[in-house]
Amino acid sequence: MARIHPTAMVDPRAELADDVEIGPYVVIDGEVRLGCGCVVGPFCRLEGPTVIAEGNRFTSHCSIGAPPQDLSYKGEPTRLEIGPGNWFREFVTVHRGTTKGGGVTRIGGYGLFMAGAHVAHDCQVGNHVIFANGGTLAGHVEVGDYATIGAFSAVHQFCRVGPYAFLGGFTVATKDCLPFMRTVGSRPARCFGPNTIGLERKGFAPERREALKKAWRILHNPKLTTTEAVAKIAAELGDQPDVALLLEFIRSSQRGVILARG
């Protein structure tokens, strides 16, 4: 049976796994489902419809599943889905979706969301991500697996952050952030090439890292347009899976991508 502190308020519509722990002054409001091994710390508020998989930890004062901060939202039945094994630190906020964005905000598994991080409505966040303190997503943002959002960085609505991307602290991204690359700064943010150390730590072999470096150099050849550079990269390095992912990310961008020149 779930362990619920006597000061907590749990809606009868909530579904709690038998080993869930609910701390002091927690409020669980509406259709909230908590999987096995979840721990909800003091003063957290969870609102539904929200589904939270096993092994999630909410340290304290988190607001999870609140309605979207969107003036067009009129109380439609939207929801939040959170995968397994995440750790949400103090004052993290995550909002449900809107009908304009498919109605669902999704967070994958095994991420770390440090104090004050914010995930807005309709965001789609991958697995193994890291949000440093105050890292913020506007609505409809996509974040790939293993991406890092630096402290007090902000990502504009409808932008994408590619897999393994690294955003430095205080970055303001108003275009898509390339996968595998370091993006730092604001107005404009600039891309500083492959996150070599980070990729090495993630187990990328030297040949994989070198292929990304070569693609980066071609992409910034001053004699080539971006379209020409993409074609040249595809011809010379397109058989490399990481490079192919990078090229597809560039081709599919709706807002443009952040390069060294901004």
Query: Residue 114: is its pLDDT beyond 90?
Result: yes
Show contacts of 124-129: CB within 8 Å, 24+ apart.
126/163, 127/83
Per-residue model confidence as pLDDT tens digits over 130-175: 999 999 999 999 999 999 999 999 999 999 999 999 999 999 999 9
Confidence bin at 42 (pLDDT 50/70/90): very high
Q: Phi and psi (nearest 5°) for 249?
A: -60, -45
Mean pLDDT across 105-113? 99
pTM for this one? 0.97
Delineate the domains of the chain, giving CATH numbers in brackets.
3-140 (2.160.10.10), 199-251 (1.20.1180)
Please name which of 72, 66, 75 lies closest in space to residue 44, comparing C-alpha atoms. Answer: 66
Query: Residue 262: is its pLDDT beyond 90?
Result: no
Would you give the DSSP letter of residue 99?
A: G
Active-site positions read: 121-122, 139
The CA distance from 40 to 56, in Å, is: 8
Query: Residue 33: is its pLDDT beyond 90?
Result: yes
Residue type, 66: A
Q: Phi and psi (nearest 5°) for 247?
A: -65, -45
Residue 86 CB-half CA count within 13 A: 31
Per-residue model confidence as pLDDT tens digits over 60-98: 999 999 999 999 999 999 999 999 999 999 999 999 999
CA 25, distance to chain mean position in Å, is: 28
Mean pLDDT across 180-207? 97
Predicted local distance difference test score (pLDDT) of residue 96? 99
Summary mean pLDDT of the chain: 98
Burial class (CB in 10 A: 0-12, 13-18, 19+), 107: buried
Please name which of 145, 98, 146 lies closest in space to residue 123, comparing C-alpha atoms. Answer: 98
Confidence bin at 43 (pLDDT 50/70/90): very high
